[in-house]
Amino acid sequence: MTTRRAWRIPSAGSLERLAQVTEDLPPPGEGEARVCVEAIGLNFADVFACLGLYSATPRGAFVPGLECAGVVEALGPPRASGESAGTTLAPGDRVMVLTRFGGYATALNADTRYLVPLPETWTMAQGAAYLVQALTAWYGLVHLGALAPGQVALVHSAAGGVGLHAVAMARATGATVIGTIGHSDKLPLLEAYGLVRNQVVVRDAARFGAQLDAALAAIGASHFNLIFDAIAGSFFRPAFERLAPEGRHVLYGAADFMPSGARPNWLRLAWQYLRRPQFDPMTLIDKNRSVMGFNLIWLFERADRLPASASAALALNSAPPHIGARFRFDELPRALRTLQGGRTTGKVVVEV
Ligand SMILES: NC(=O)c1ccc[n+]([C@@H]2O[C@H](COP(=O)([O-])OP(=O)(O)OC[C@H]3O[C@@H](n4cnc5c(N)ncnc54)[C@H](OP(=O)(O)O)[C@@H]3O)[C@@H](O)[C@H]2O)c1
């Protein structure tokens, strides 16, 4: 038995309920490895989970957190089913870990099928910043979105964690990217990622359509072939209306629904829900375009597909991810509130 520290929430509903606990961690079970965690990667979905706005959130008490990086300390007995994934692991290996909750801890037992070797030159913080967001970008842009060279992609929240991966992967594919951001202070980072000023839209809900037209005109295009959208809300329709025939609008989040306080304002959420984007699916046929959606949690349940998906994402963009903010383990709730505020860039990482 090992002792660990973890951030636990007795039930979803408020960020204020997160409390640090010291607890026993049993030895790793069949097909598991005990990982000594050195860095934890935060995801926007963590905030939704703590607020109780994420459908995959466990009932009752749980430790949030979908990914981390650390060192394998011990291995449990091999899986009885004889599945080989993960069996090449040994104590001392540096790994990136995907976990369906449970990542906010100084040690955890993880299914070995969800451990990916940390690239040799990467830091632990970079490892904790990679899997969820890079897989999301790869799955949405490449696997579902079939982005091709010469196409034009609109990437919302382009300076965020998923967004920066999407920008890099779209450019590596040979596509031209137009990125949107909420605040102009994120511009220099996107310039460092290869976008010129007129390829970046600082979103203004009152004139978003005109902003998109200007950005398209600046690159000599009239329509998007792919829209990568985790905001939805009032920004959905102006973008959707500029989708080319054969275009794909890939929806994978709804940041517009993010409450600003420690707990949801249910009245405001109900109002936003009533005003959510709606359209007639029959028009998709006439205009020859598609709207798609996905949730990476689905891929979490397909462990067999993880190694190939992670390799494909790394092959498309092997640069270490951008860490926008670092916090100490004791500061984890503050790190979450910072991410919730919408002003961070790249990944928010908690170092243990
Ligand atoms: N479907 C899936 O499987 C999946 C997997 C991973 C992530 N996601 C979704 O992908 C999105 C990006 O995730 P991430 O972890 O990389 O986060 P992130 O992009 O680093 O941070 C979220 C960003 O959302 C934007 N935003 C728009 N409206 C907002 C609001 N009302 N309040 C706060 N922020 C707002 C902000 O950027 P700008 O203002 O610059 O746009 C903010 O920085 C999230 O919506 C997340 O839920 C989905």
Instruction: For 250-289, write each residue's pLDDT tens digit.
Output: 999 999 889 989 999 999 999 988 888 888 899 899 999 9
pLDDT at 82: 62
Calculate how far, in angstroms, residue 167's C-alpha sits from the geometric centre of ligand 1: 14
Q: Is the CB of 54 under 6 A from ligand 1?
A: no
CATH architecture, domain 2-130+320-351: Alpha-Beta Complex (3.90)
The residue extents of the domains of the chain are: 2-130+320-351, 133-298
Identify which of 40, 43, 44 to mutate to test ligand 1's pocket (most ligand atoms within 8 A of the CB).
Answer: 44
Instruction: For 125-179, write each residue's pLDDT tens digit.
Output: 999 999 999 999 999 999 999 999 999 999 999 999 999 999 999 999 999 999 9
Task: Please identify every stretch of the chain with a pLDDT value under 70, giving residue numbers as ranges.
Answer: 82-87
The CA-atom distances, in angstroms, between 285 and each of 142, 166, 207 are 23, 28, 28
Identify which of 51, 55, 157, 271 to mutate to test ligand 1's pocket (most ligand atoms within 8 A of the CB).
Answer: 157
pLDDT at 277: 85
Identify which of 43, 54, 271, 297 to mutate to test ligand 1's pocket (most ligand atoms within 8 A of the CB).
Answer: 43
Q: Is the CB of 47 under 6 A from ligand 1?
A: no
Q: May I ask the CATH class of domain 133-298?
A: alpha beta
Closest atom of ligand 1 to 344 CA is: 43
Q: Is the CB of 161 under 6 A from ligand 1?
A: yes
Calculate how far, in angstroms, residue 276's C-alpha sits from the geometric centre of ligand 1: 17
Report residue 242 as tokens.
């500029």
13: left (phi over 0), alpha (psi -120 to 50) or beta: left
What one-character-per-residue DSSP string does 197-211 give?
Answer: GGGEEE--GGGHHHH
| Beta bridge partners of residue 200, listed in sequence order | 179
Nearest by Cα to 98 from 263, 313, 250: 313
Q: What are phi and psi of 214, to 5 degrees?
A: -65, -40
> Dihedral through CA 327, CA 331, CA 333, CA 335, nearest 10?
-20
pLDDT at 83: 60
232: left (phi over 0), alpha (psi -120 to 50) or beta: left
